[in-house]
Amino acid sequence: MEQMIRISGLSKTFVLHHQHGTVLPVLADIDLTVGRGECVVLHGPSGSGKSTLLRSIYANYRAQQGQILVRHLDGWVDMARAAPRELLEVRRLSMGYISQFLRVIPRIPALDIVSEPLRGLGVERAEAEHKARALLSRLNIPGKLWSLPPATFSGGEQQRINIARGFVSNFPILLLDEPTAALDAGNRTVVAEMIEEARAAGTAIVGIFHDDEIRRRVATSVHVLSPMENIA
Amino acid sequence: MNPQSLLRVQGVSKHYGRRSACQEVSFELHPGEIVAIAGESGSGKTTLLNCISGRLRPDAGRVEFDTRENGLQDIYALSEPHLRLLTRTDWGYVHQNPRDGLRINVSAGANVGERLMAVGERHYGRIRAATGDWMSQVELDPQRIDDLPSTFSGGMQQRLQIARNLVTHPRLLFMDEPTASLDVSVQARLLDLLRGLTQTLSLAAVIVTHDLAVARLLAHRLMIMKDGQMVESGLTDQVLDDPQHPYTQLLVSSVLQA
């Protein structure tokens, strides 16, 4: 199976300069490989570094040690070392990240937020919006909301906007940070189906799911993380 | 060295007397890239902006711009007319206070059209058409083309200043706190407009701001200045979500959450 993510020796420590220089080691010597069509679920108690690992893969957090190789075009990019421009290209073309919360942009309607990643790939507006509408209906966002900025939407609606945005451009790699946390049973099922379809199409997925049923349904393997002792 | 750089800043330093306003700052900017410079008042961010935009000769270091004719050129080695031409064509400069970037006693249309005339356009109809077009692009009513900017609100004046800068299709825009003098509701509209324009025109921009939310919304990269030094830089979300330097941590943790 073709590998899409190869992490080796990854360590991440936070230094809190204004809290007496507290050093918080969160990840140490992590190795993880994810192939095409695989869904690796990160599992462990709160504080074990699941979100930190996802954010490090996306280069939202900066790793101190190790490699985070991600398949990009015909080669590999080390997300722990690459230049900002290269990181942005990986995010534009190869890897999507769906967080728990939508970062709302003032005045931008939901439809634009969802279709934007596709337009960033050069897809015509009409076609991008067509695909965005299909996803918004599938995720049961009422049509009357599509032209409104999501600032006033409910938590569950904002989360579904985020999911639609993450799925719209068929990234080869997807990182999912509890995408179903605020959803009702019906919408959880829709998201589970979308994840299964992406997997079947070859997407490599790393995710965090607190819901046991979803986790069992979508995972091809589970990677267990355990909290580290703090060094004062 | 990267041949695709639009702007290359190397070791730029500026002193005022014995006080150093800007020390050994280096960075590169590529076409279509937006970088924000953040830091508190007195951190040297405006001095740096002035040095890299040809307005203030640094004491040391080089500022190079990818000119259309000769590629990367030291801007302070260019002739005075050549530098002036750059500032009227390939560069734009948006001031914090729109009154510093507009001529307040000539019409809105003249403010925009003037920049076109400065590069040799003489056809009245074409100037007026381009002016009207840019007024609509910045969401100003083209019907108000003959009104004085003093009859516009602060937000409208700021949008007019942006239209004046964009009419010559610059490749690089310098902006000094472009939203700071505006009400919050007006800021959101301007940010959204700038975000759209920079994307559709693939404009590169250097934005000085003390507002980290502005950086988050507009900039690909963020540089943090303190006491004249660039203490941290990276992708905007990296710097804001995983700040490394003690000063950046303080800055990020001091932002009020609405």
Q: pLDDT at position B143, please? A: 96
Q: What values do phi and psi take at B228, rounded to 5?
A: 80, -5
Helix (H) or strand (E) segment spanning residue B135: helix B124-137
Cβ pair A52, A26 in contact under 8 A: yes
Answering whether pTM is above 0.80, one says yes
Mean pLDDT, 10 residues at a time, over chain A (232 residues)?
96 93 93 98 94 97 96 97 95 95 82 93 95 98 96 92 96 96 93 97 96 94 86 46
Query: pLDDT tens digit string along B89-147?
Result: 999 999 999 999 999 999 999 999 999 998 888 999 999 999 999 999 999 999 999 99
Nearest to B177 by CA among B21, B43, B29, B49: B49
Cα–Cα separations (whole angstroms), residue B46 to A143, B9, B21, B154: 46, 15, 9, 22
Q: pLDDT at position B257, please? A: 63
Distance from CA of B123 to the nearest CA of A (A): 34
Query: pLDDT tens digit string along A126-184?
Result: 999 999 999 999 999 999 999 999 988 999 999 999 999 999 999 999 999 999 988 99
- Interchain contact, A105 vs B195, CB within 8 Å: yes
Residue numbers in B near A105 (CB within 8 A): 192, 195, 217
Distance from CA of B254 to the nearest CA of A (A): 11
Per-residue pLDDT 10s for chain B (258 aa) are: 455 899 999 999 999 988 889 999 999 999 999 999 999 888 999 999 999 999 999 999 999 999 998 999 999 999 999 999 999 999 999 999 999 999 999 999 999 999 999 888 899 999 999 999 999 999 999 999 999 999 999 999 999 999 999 999 999 999 999 988 888 778 888 888 888 888 888 899 999 999 998 999 899 999 999 999 999 999 999 999 999 999 999 999 988 665
**Residue B238 in contact with partner chain A when CB distance is under 8 A:** yes
A-chain residue closest to B214, CA distance: A105
List the single best residue of B182, B222, B238 to mutate versus A (max A Cβ within 10 A): B238
- The domain segmentation of chain B, as residue ranges, is 102-169
A-chain residue closest to B199, CA distance: A120
- Interchain contact, B253 vs A18, CB within 8 Å: yes
- Interchain contact, A60 vs B217, CB within 8 Å: no
Q: Give the separation between CA B162 and CA B196, rounded to whole angstroms.
A: 13
Q: ipTM of the assembly?
A: 0.93
Q: Give the separation between CA A96 and CA A208, rounded to whole angstroms.
A: 14
Residues in A 57-76 with any Cβ partner in B closer than 8 A: 59-62
Residue numbers in A near B246 (CB within 8 A): 17-18
Strand, coil or helix: B19 = strand
